[in-house]
């Protein structure tokens, strides 16, 4: 690993000033689970590390106007075990629980899960399906982007030089809605996904027909993707084998997986269609249950 200087500013403004001063030489460090590995492998050699860990306010999970705000420094384990997340958005707690091992989840942060922009990560998939927004701060001010627009390419995000992810805002699902996250990982339970799918389904008042749905996938291309064509097929329909087949076909056309040690591209394409069927079935069942308990 290269030698580097280390700063641990106490405010975001201070961190942004240090990042601005050192330009390309500087890198933010949060949990360090990805960055330190990349530095050890000499894939990155930053001369300056700017830790976010002393900055207060970035480690909160809070309810805000029906949404849930999660700060960039909140760890995966904190999302997984948060009573607020478990109660309001159980699929998100479930997704974070599926990441690696407890050791990793105790260190890795929500901001790191986004900024690292690895298409094999779990949290971005569910955040896209939930319609979450990422909050970004830079010297020029604050901006917000839908999570699905945040990923530009393999390990490349919408972050401009000197910008920092400060958190995500996750909207509450409407009444009569359900969500599911399915992670297909045939090797070990702490591996990255071979294919991952998150789906949300909201039902009409009849408790059967789909009013709106969102589907997102991970590990099927250079970024996590949203499957708009498949979503469009679901609206107004009831769940059934033919519908799932059609959605699966639309998925096969939408994904472009890489051949790697987790499977061939052809295998991942087939599994993407299968996993979408499973996620939709689970989300639909949950939506039906939710519609039955609607006040």
The reply on whether position 52 binds ligand FAD by CB under 6 A is yes
Distance, C-alpha 283 to centroid of its chain = 17
| 34 vs 93 by CB, closer to ligand FAD | 34
Tell me the H-state helices in the chain: 12-22, 35-40, 76-81, 83-88, 90-97, 102-107, 110-115, 123-129, 228-234, 241-254, 265-292
- Residue 190 burial by Cβ neighbours in a 10 Å radius (0-12, 13-18, 19+): middle
Give residues 53-72 in contact with ligand FAD (rule: CB under 6 A): 72
Binding range to ligand FAD, per CB under 6 A, among 105-113, 201-209, 250-258, 266-274: 105-113
Residue of minimal Cβ distance to ligand FAD? 112
Q: How far apart are the C-alpha atoms of 254 and 247, rounded to whole Å?
A: 11
Give residues 116-145 in contact with ligand FAD (rule: CB under 6 A): 116, 118, 121-123
The reply on whether position 165 binds ligand FAD by CB under 6 A is yes
The reply on whether position 291 binds ligand FAD by CB under 6 A is no
Q: CB of 117: closest distance to ligand FAD in angstroms?
A: 8
Q: CB of 107: closest distance to ligand FAD in angstroms?
A: 6
| 155 vs 175 by CB, closer to ligand FAD | 155
Give residues 74-103 in contact with ligand FAD (rule: CB under 6 A): 99-100
The answer to whether 47 and 2 are in contact (CB under 8 A) is yes
Binding range to ligand FAD, per CB under 6 A, among 77-85, 107-115, 145-153, 258-266: 107-115
| 218 vs 248 by CB, closer to ligand FAD | 218
How many residues of this chain interact with ligand FAD, rule: CB under 6 A? Answer: 31
The reply on whether position 181 binds ligand FAD by CB under 6 A is no
Q: Order the strands of the 5-7 sheet from edge to edge.
A: 5-7, 48-51, 26-29
Distance, C-alpha 242 to centroid of its chain = 29
- Residue 48 burial by Cβ neighbours in a 10 Å radius (0-12, 13-18, 19+): middle
Give residues 20-49 in contact with ligand FAD (rule: CB under 6 A): 27-35, 37
Could you say which of 9, 69, 71, 112 contacts ligand FAD (CB under 6 A)?
A: 112
SS3 92: helix
Residue with structure tokens 């460090």? 29
Q: How far apart are the C-alpha atoms of 83 and 196, rounded to whole Å?
A: 25
Distance, C-alpha 193 to centroid of its chain = 13
Could you say which of 150, 151, 192, 284 contacts ligand FAD (CB under 6 A)?
A: 192
The answer to whether 170 and 68 are in contact (CB under 8 A) is yes
| 121 vs 202 by CB, closer to ligand FAD | 121
The answer to whether 191 and 278 are in contact (CB under 8 A) is no
The reply on whether position 276 binds ligand FAD by CB under 6 A is no
**Could you list the residues that contact ligand FAD (CB under 6 A)?**
27-35, 37, 52, 72, 99-100, 104, 107-109, 111-113, 115-116, 118, 121-123, 159, 164-165, 192
């Amino acid at each position: 690993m290269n030698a580097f200087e280390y700063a641990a500013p106490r405010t975001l403004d201070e961190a942004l000033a240090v990042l601005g001063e050192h330009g390309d030489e500087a890198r933010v460090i949060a949990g360090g689970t990805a960055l330190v590995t990349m530095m050890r492998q000499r894939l990155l050699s930053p001369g300056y590390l700017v830790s976010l860990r002393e900055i207060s306010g970035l480690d909160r999970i809070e309810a805000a106007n029906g949404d849930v705000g999660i700060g960039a420094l909140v760890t995966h384990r904190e999302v997984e075990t948060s009573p607020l997340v478990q109660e309001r958005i159980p699929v998100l707690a479930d997704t974070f629980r599926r990441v690696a091992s407890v050791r990793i989840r105790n260190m890795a942060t929500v901001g790191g899960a986004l900024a690292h922009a690895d298409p094999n990560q779990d949290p971005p998939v569910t955040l896209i399906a939930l319609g979450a927004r990422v909050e970004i701060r830079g010297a020029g001010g604050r901006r917000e982007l839908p999570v699905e627009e945040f990923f530009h390419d393999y390990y490349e995000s919408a972050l401009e030089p000197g910008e920092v992810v400060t958190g995500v805002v996750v909207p509450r699902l409407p009444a009569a809605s359900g969500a599911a996250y399915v992670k297909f990982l045939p090797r070990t339970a702490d591996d990255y996904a071979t294919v991952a799918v998150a789906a949300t389904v909201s039902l009409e008042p009849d408790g059967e027909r789909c009013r709106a749905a969102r589907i997102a996938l991970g590990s099927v291309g250079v970024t996590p993707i949203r499957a708009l064509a498949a979503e469009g097929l679901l609206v107004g329909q009831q769940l059934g084998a033919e519908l799932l087949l059609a959605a699966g076909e639309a998925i096969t056309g939408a994904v472009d997986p890489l051949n790697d040690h987790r499977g061939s591209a052809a295998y991942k394409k087939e599994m993407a269609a299968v996993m979408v069927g499973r996620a939709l079935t689970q989300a639909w069942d949950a939506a039906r249950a939710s519609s039955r308990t609607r006040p």
